[in-house]
Structure 1
Amino acid sequence: MDPTTLPAGVVNPFAALTFIAAPALLTNASSLLLMGTTNRLARAVDRVRELASQLEHHARGEQAIAEVELWLMQRAEQRVRIIVHAMTTFYLAVGSFSFGTMLALIGAALVTPAHEGTRMWVLRFTIGACVIGVAAIMSGSLALVFESRITFRILTEEARQARERYAKRQIA
């Protein structure tokens, strides 16, 4: 069935708008996810640098603290890798939705019902680009869920470490 016609064979005036607006809105959503992920990456990179600096300043007697901070740094590096993966998928989503929008515009403007074969190919590529974009958003979002869980583990360990330092100060 042709998605641009209603069941009675009447042309659907919203079909072209749907094929153009949906990818455009999804492009915007992907861009917002990308901006947020970029901020997360900057904070994660800063944290890795901070932990590396702290590791350099530990005395020999602080081996236990250095080991915990090394573990924290490994988790922070893991966060960076996951965030970069998410950013890559969000870039793919933006590109896919932009490509889908462009194809929909071309299809709506240049392809007439007389060119049925071409019209169906443009429609298939538009839908394909949008499916790739949605899959990329899902993949990137799932990666950020995992990254959030790692961040939670890091914060839990840092809180435990801070409580231990506080308890030692109270005893002394």
Structure 2
Amino acid sequence: MPVAVPSTYETLSAMITPALFMTATGSLIISTSNRMSRIVDRIRQLNQEADDLGRGAKQVDFVEERLEHISVQLDRMIERSDTIRLALTVLYSALAMYVGTSLTLALDALAGGWFLVVPTTLAILGVGLMLAACVLLIREARIALRNNRLEILFYQKLRNLRAAKPAASSTEESPPAG
């Protein structure tokens, strides 16, 4: 049975269809790249703060607690940056699948419809990769929110330590009863 060869218009229309996925993936790439930049900025800020504290360049209380908190924050930043890096890799891979889908649709049209399975497979892989990237981005967002909670709890701890400090020093100054 002869295979029907699609018209040029149908071929171009089919090649444009993956562009919707490319646009969505591109938007996620831009947003994920921005998130990565913020992580890099935060890592640099934490490193600078730790360096200042370590050299005594900052006159603050509870230096050891602050250095420990920064260490924990940096560990979480590593986890976030690894997750974002993986998400970006997956998103770029998805974009490549969609470009491949568009290209193989054109090649399939030129070949007379002999390998339609290739663009279909590439499109399915692209959608699967996009789903995986979304899962990674959800994971990274959850890590970021846990970091925020940790930050809030740390500063609540500092306030409590400061509140307890005058009470402890006033009991040390009072003469013993006797």
Q: Under TM normalisation by the shorter chain, which class is it?
A: 0.7 to 0.9
Give the whole-Å Cα distance in 1 for the aligned partners of 2:143 and 2:19. 33
Alignment of 1:50-129 (within 5 A): 50-58=45-53, 62-108=63-109, 110-112=110-112, 119-121=113-115, 123-129=116-122
1:88-120 Cα offsets, whole Å, 9 max, x none, are 000001111011011112333x233xxxxxx23
Q: Looking at CA atoms only, which structure, 1 or 2, has the larger radius of gyration?
A: 2
Distance across 2 between alignment mates of 1:18 and 1:165: 62
Q: Could you state the TM-score of these two structures normalised by the residue count of structure 2? A: 0.76
Contact map agreement 2:12 2:106 (CA 8 A) in 1: no
Q: How far apart in 2 are the matches of 1:94 and 1:27?
A: 6
SS at match of 1:81: helix
1:32 matches 2:27: yes
CA distance in 1, matches of 2:138, 2:12: 33
**Which fold has the larger relative contact order, with Cα–Cα distance below 8 Å and residues 6 or more apart in sequence?**
2
- Once the two structures are TM-superposed, the CA of residue 170 in structure 1 deviates from its matched residue by 5.9
- RMSD (Å), alpha carbons: 2.7
C-alpha displacement of 1:65: 1.7
Q: Which runs of 5+ in 2 are unaligned?
A: 57-61, 167-178
Q: Which residue of 2 aligns with 1:134?
A: 127
1:20, distance to aligned residue in structure 2 (A):
2.5
Query: Which secondary structure does the structure 1 equivalent of 2:114 belong to?
Result: helix
Q: 1:126 and 1:111 mapped to 2: Cα distance?
A: 13
- Runs of 4+ aligned residues of structure 1 deviating over 6 Å after TM superposition are none
Cα separation, 2, equivalents of 1:79 and 1:21: 35
Aligned residues between the structures? 156
SS of 1:70's equivalent? Answer: helix
